[in-house]
Structure formats: structure tokens, C-alpha cells
Amino acid sequence: MVLASSGREVRGRTGSGGGRGERHHRLLPAGGVRRFAAGHVLREHLRGQFAAALHQRGDRVPRSRSRPPLPAHVRAGTRRSAAAAPDRAVQRLHRGLGPVRGAPRRRDGPVLRRHRPLRHARPGLHAGRPARGRHRAARAGLDPAAGGRLPGREHADGEDGDRGGDRPVRRESGPGAELPGGAAGNPARPRRGRAGAGRPVRHPRVPRRHPGQRNSPAVRIGHRRRRVDRRGVRVTWLDLPPDTLFGLDNLPYGVFSHGERTRRAGVAVGDQVLDLTAAAEGESFGRLLGAGVLNPLLAAGPDTWADVRARVREWLAEPRHADRIRPHLVPRTEITSHLPVEVADYVDFYSSEQHALNASRIFTGGDDLVPANWKYLPIGYHGRAGTVVASGTPVVRPAGQRKPRKASEPSFGAAKRLDFEAEVGFVVGVGSQLGAPVPIDEFPRHVFGVCLVNDWSARDLQGWESQPLGPFLGKSFATSVSPWLVPLAALEHARVPQPAQDPQPFEYLRAAESWSLDLTLEIRINGHLVSSPPFATQYWTGAQQLAHLTVNGASLRTGDLYASGTVTGPAKDQRGSLLELSWGGREPLAVGEETRAFLEDGDEVVISASAPGPGGARIGFGEVRGTVAAAVV
């Protein structure tokens, strides 16, 4: 029997007697031929002396599609001894071979025609020694049925050449693992009587069962190849720094203008912005990107969101698209960002337990008092969509009525206790029908993505007017949002278990999967970092807030924005507002060489955030910034 090294053909002789007969050819796939080589070694290992006896008689070794029978002690289920250890490795190889057609393509040496007599091993090479390494069965110990001799290999006269077709199965190096003639373990010892002596022995490779076992820059997913690096982070033909917050695993959407061009949809990648409106010309979704806002794209639904995201990834990952896409990339420092969506409705929640406790302690002098309903439902209020502004818009100090505690009468004027609140916003893509509550597990089908929110607050106005209906003019003068919407699809690695809730929420607030997100926010005043609130500590999640928002039958509309409420952690440097950082103004906060109880005219507040991504990378949300302008009274 001959297995041709071309990778395409299996040759053999048929007939009776001494093995002389008609030559025949059988075509196999290239991968199948290499798989056949490994299978042949396995059969020879199991047959042992039987194969040698056939060679001495001149008969060919019979071939069969059925597997050789297992040893008796394996069939009977008896306890294995040390001497039977190689059999287990053989079984592993046997299971690993699988069908011939499914073999991946690998490069192997040829297995040739004539059977080489078995050679004795040196003392110390014993059958009880288990094989180690990737190719276990090919390096297994001696076959007990072969009388302590190594299994041979088949080769043809004159067909060995430089490939060493007459080489025995390679064994691992180590004491007692060296074969006569330098066949393994010691390449310096020449093998006498053959060309190419001194080279280490090759053996047929055992195919890996899944591509994840090889550190390949591309991993096959379904019928596509996903280009990733060793960390699992997607790679691109763009020159991106390894620590970028805007890699191919993020790709947030926004609206921008550049030069004389009108507002366009864009995707942030690295320190550039892809002009998605221009790049998508001719695509089926291109008509959704020319409105100057993202609302048409958001209304198209999750299937379209996934298609657009996959297409953008392909453009930025495949070098064949580089020449077409490169002209549509604009440096982020040269653009003007705009509000990404036309906001339909705005709702703000009050979902941080630590923030609620801090506010109670500040206003009551130390009591841990929160509203009786706080742990039963996400408390919120309906804000003003018309004053939601883009990041960078100046915030004019509001004016209104205020009444300090010690004053006998209220007064009118500019707010003196102007504050910020660091929050996370959720943007609705697909609306809902009036009268139909949205189930909590439908959250990812309705919410498109996440942004950052600064819910500016005038504490003195808020304290006087909030009784009994809640915030009004103390909140509605301005709400700033970040320019980039990070899609929920980019936040799979940021999902974490939700904090325990006691008492247990009502059924409509119980989710099958947690949508608590591990975001880390950073707050800077005039360039100085003052706090780093963790979003994962929020008592109520965005999915629960959406379910409660619609449980009474209120409908959703494309572009609805709802915010989490102030994000505050347990530590002092994790507080999400100046009200808490300065403890109601009684403990002014150090900001560089100055102090602040509340914001002053000219102060700039910048809120940024990041979240975990694949392979230890980080996903960036950009920043929302605003500068306080003097009041107009």
C-alpha cells in the first residue's frame, strides 16, 4: 500500500499471493491524505507483530474502514495498569482523527510503501511511560503486543529522499528516550546508512479539534473569518494605538459637521471619525443616514443595527476596503459635534442608593432616611426634552425663586448653588404602542445605546419649588449629553451581576439576565479630577427603568432619552455631585489650588467614562462637557 505525498492521490496494489497485482489509484482530498497517514500509524501501532508477520510472508497489510478492536482490558472495563498507559493515548488519537472529510489541511511527511522491520529501544524506554505534548499517541510508549519494540513505518524503495519516509515515530527527548541511530532525542547522533542523517524525526501531525488551540490572527466563526489579535480584540488596517478607547469593538455613532458640509452621521474610530453618510452611499441602509440625526437608523430596529455595525467593521478590518474608506475619515479634532438624536421625551431617575443616603444625611443632619417607596420602584420625573443640549454648549446660570432655610421669605435671582450630576443615559430606538407595556427582557430590542449625561441642577431653586410635585425649574434649564452613542452590542463584556435587591421587586421588574453595566466615570472640574463614580453600584438597572417607564401603558418613541440619576459609589472620591463632594457646601472641595462648594461662572465640568471590552481592552464613551456662563437677569 502506498500513500502518495502529493496530497491528492492514494496508490496501492490489488491482487493475491505475494502482493503483486494491478496498480490502482484512489483520489482523496489533500486534507484526507494527511489524515490517512495518521490513521495508518495508528493501525500499525495496534497490530504490532501481526503487521511484521505479514511483511515476512510478503502479504500486504489489509485495510479496513472499521476501527481495530480495543484491547481486552479496555473492553472489559478493568482497572488500567501502568503498562497499559499507551493504550489510552492511542484511543485519544483514535477519537481525534474523526472522519476523513473533516480533516484540516496540515503539512506532514509522506508515509511510503515498504514496511520497515521494528527496531529495539534502548533500556529505559518502557511501555508504561505515558506520552506528553500535543501529539500524544504518535509519541506513545511501546506496544506491549509488539514485544517491547517500536512500531515501524512504511516506505518505498528510493522514495525516501530528504523527507525521511523510513523514520520511526518520534518520541520525546529525555533520559532513556533516545533511539538507536539518533532517531529521536539527540539530533547530533547520525542515523547510519541513509541520507540526511542527524535530522530530528518528523511524524504525522494529529489534527487539532478546534481553531482556538492555535494562536492564529484569524478565528473562524461560522462561515466568516473574524480578524482578532491574541487578546481577542479586532484588528484593523488603520494605525490605531493598542490602548485606544475607540477600536473596532466600540464604534459609537454620532452626528458631526466638517467644513462647509452639512450634518452627517459618523462613527468614531481611533482619533478619527468615519463619515458614515458618505461611506454608505449605495448600501441598503444608506438612506437612513442622511437626515442629520440618527433617528431613522434607530427606528429601523435591531436587525438593521446589527447589519450596519457588521458592515462598518468589515470596512475597517479588511484591507481590500482601505482605498475606498480612507478618504471618508476625518480627524476628530477638526469636526464639530452635534446632538446625535432629536430627543422625543426625557425622563430622569433616582437610582443610586448611596446617592439617596448621602442626600438624606445632608438634609437631615445624619439620618439614613430614604422615601418609603424607593426600594419598590425606580423613582423618576419627567424632564424637558427641549433643553437637552449637545456637549460643549455653554450652560447659562439659571434664575428663579429661592428660599434659604434661615430666611423668612423667598427671594428671586440667579441661582447661587449651581451643581452638576454625573449620569448615564439610555436612548430608545424602537418605539412601542400606547397601552402596551414593554417587558423587561425586551430592553435590548428597544434601546439602541448608551451616552453620558450631565443633569445640571440649581439646588437652591430645587429645594424651594420641589414640594410637593418634584423638580421643575431647578432642573429644566439644561441637560448636556455626550456626542457619541455606544451601542448595547459593544457592552457585552461590561455586563455584571446586579446588586442584591431587598425586598424582591415585583415580577415586571425581574429580568432573566442582568443589565447592570460596569462603567467607570470620571469627573473633572477645570481639568482637575475630583471623582470616579462606579456605575455598577446602581440599585436599579436601565432595563428595570424602561419596564417601569412603560408599565402603565405609556408609549416609547424613537429618540426618547432617560437617565440613570446621579451615579455615586460608597467612597468619598466616588460621589457624583458637588452636593455630596462638598457635603452640602459645608466642606468645600479642593479643586487645584482653589476650593468649591458649588460651581462658579467660568467653571468647566467634564464627565467621561469607559467600560471593559474584549481581551482586557477598554470601551470609551467620549465626554460630556459644559462651561458655566453668567446669568441673564
pLDDT digits 0-9 by tens, 547-594? 999 999 999 999 999 999 999 999 999 999 999 999 999 999 999 999
Residue 481: phi and psi, rounded to 5, are -130, 155
Phi/psi region, residue 124 (left: phi>0; alpha: psi -120 to 50; beta: rest), is left
Check whether residue 325 and residue 366 sit in a common domain.
Answer: no
Of the two residues 183 and 449, the one the predictor is more confident about is: 449
User: C-alpha distances in angstroms, 325 versus 313, 316, 578?
Assistant: 12, 8, 44
Active-site residue, selected from the candidate residues 355, 446, 493, 548: 355
Strand-pair partners of 520: 534, 610
Kindly report, residue by residue over 429-439, the tens digit of the pLDDT.
999 999 999 99
Region 484-491 average pLDDT:
98
Of 188, 189, 150, 154, residue with least CA distance to 171: 150
302 part of a folded domain: yes
Amino acid at site 444 = P
Cell numbers for 495, please give them: 455586563
**332 and 362 part of one domain:** no
463 DSSP assignment: H
Residue from 572, 594, 593 nearest 583 by CA: 572
Buried-exposed string 266-279: b where 16+ CB fall within 10 A, e elsewhere: bbbbbebbbbbbbb
Lowest-confidence range among 25-39, 334-348, 424-438, 489-503?
Answer: 25-39
Q: Are 602 and 587 in contact (CB under 8 A)?
A: no
Calculate mean pLDDT across residues 616-620: 95
Q: At what angle do helices 30-47 and 85-97 cross, to 10 degrees?
A: 160
DSSP conformation letters of 357-413: HHHHHHHHTS-----TTTTTS--EEE--GGGEEETT--EEPPEEEE--TT-SS-EEE
Domain-embedded: residue 212: no
Element (H, E) at 401: strand 399-402
Place of cell 488500567: 80
Mean pLDDT rounded to a whole number for the chain: 78
Residue 203 catalytic?
no
pLDDT at position 128 is 45
CATH at residue 514: 3.90.850.10
364 with 424, same domain? yes
595 three-class SS: strand
Within 8 A by CB and 6+ apart from 249, the residues are: 233, 234, 490, 613, 614, 617, 619
Task: Indicate whether 350 and 322 sit together in one domain.
Answer: no
Q: What whole-number distance in Å separates Cα of residue 631 and Cα of residue 601?
A: 9
Give the residue with greater pLDDT, 99 vs 95: 95
Q: What's the DSSP call for residue 109?
A: -
Confirm whether pTM is higher than 0.75.
Answer: no
Domain boundary, last residue among 182, 201, 235: 182
Q: What is the CATH number of the domain that holds 296?
A: 2.30.30.230
Q: How high is the pLDDT of residue 368?
A: 79
Cα–Cα distance between 325 and 322 in angstroms, integer?
5
**Domain around 596:** 346-629
- Could you say which DSSP state residue 234 is in? B
Instruction: Report how many domains make up the chain.
Output: 3
Q: What is the pLDDT of residue 60?
A: 52
pLDDT digits (tens, 9 = 90+) for 582-596: 999 999 999 999 999
Tell whether 401 is covered by a domain: yes
Cell numbers linked to 37? 497517514
One domain for residues 404 and 497: yes
Whether pLDDT at 153 is above 50? no
Q: Does position 33 have pLDDT exceeding 70, yes or no? A: no
CA quadruple 246, 249, 253, 258: dihedral sign: positive
